[in-house]
């Protein structure tokens, strides 16, 4: 009896699956085209969602700047920077190996990385070894300069974060000192 019930259930399942497959496959041409989403149907909501995210992040950055009153300048990409100590050394160039002391905080003030714990950061400028905002900021400095960078998420770790200490869509505050170029 149990065997017969299992066999009947399998047959009913197979019959139902065939009907569903045939019905889906025989859908009319015009009707099926209407059911498919057009790229433009998805594009506008996606663009609008991105606008809202950027607007919110920009407001958080502006609130931060209002609170701390840093005299920042802004690059075309959205990096905000403030050089508060001017060194006299060589100006950073692409392909230089930069040695940098840094502390990295979230815009909330939470410290996530620091040279005090891990030592200086060493990287080749222009090779994508660090986030885009840091690379862009270092190119504004000379050896001995100390600066603060406000790096929006699109120049930092973006939508995913760093999968460790930096969350998705995080604005980063870097306090850096360019200590050497090779």
Domain residue spans of the chain: 2-36, 72-181
pLDDT at 48: 87
Residue 161 CB partners (closer than 8 Å, separation 6+): 167, 168, 169, 170
72-181 to CATH, choices 3.40.50.970, 3.40.50.720, 3.10.50.40, 3.90.1300.10 = 3.10.50.40
The whole model's pTM is what?
Answer: 0.76
Residue burial 1-40, b: 16+ Cβ < 10 Å; e: rest: eeeeeeeeeeeeeeeeeeeeeeeeeeeeeeeeeeeeeeee
Report the relative pairing of strands 97-106 and 121-124 from DSSP bridges: antiparallel
**Going residue by residue through the chain (182 aa), what tens digit of pLDDT does each one get?**
333 343 444 444 444 444 445 555 555 555 455 556 677 677 888 788 888 988 999 999 999 999 999 999 999 999 999 999 999 999 999 999 999 999 999 999 999 999 999 999 999 999 999 999 999 999 999 999 999 999 999 999 998 999 999 999 999 999 999 999 99
Contacts of 117-120 with CB under 8 Å at 24 or more apart are 120/179
CA distances from 49 to 27, 41, 62, 182 (A): 33, 13, 20, 43
pLDDT at 4: 39
């Amino acid at each position: 009896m149990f065997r017969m019930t299992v066999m009947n259930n399998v047959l009913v399942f197979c019959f139902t699956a065939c009907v569903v497959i045939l019905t889906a496959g025989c859908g009319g041409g015009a009707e099926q085209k209407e059911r498919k989403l057009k790229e433009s149907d998805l594009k506008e909501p996606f663009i609008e969602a991105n606008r809202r995210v950027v607007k919110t992040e920009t407001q958080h950055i502006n609130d931060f700047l209002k609170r701390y009153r840093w005299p920042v300048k802004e690059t075309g990409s959205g990096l905000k920077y403030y050089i508060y100590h001017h060194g006299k050394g060589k100006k950073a160039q692409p392909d230089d190996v930069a040695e940098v002391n840094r502390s990295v905080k979230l815009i909330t003030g939470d410290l996530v990385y620091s040279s005090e714990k891990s030592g200086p950061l060493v990287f080749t400028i222009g090779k994508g070894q660090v986030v885009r905002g840091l690379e862009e900021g270092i190119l504004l400095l000379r050896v001995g300069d100390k600066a603060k960078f406000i790096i929006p998420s699109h120049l930092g770790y973006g939508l995913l974060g760093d999968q460790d200490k930096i969350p998705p869509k995080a604005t980063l505050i870097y306090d850096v000192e360019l200590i050497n170029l090779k």
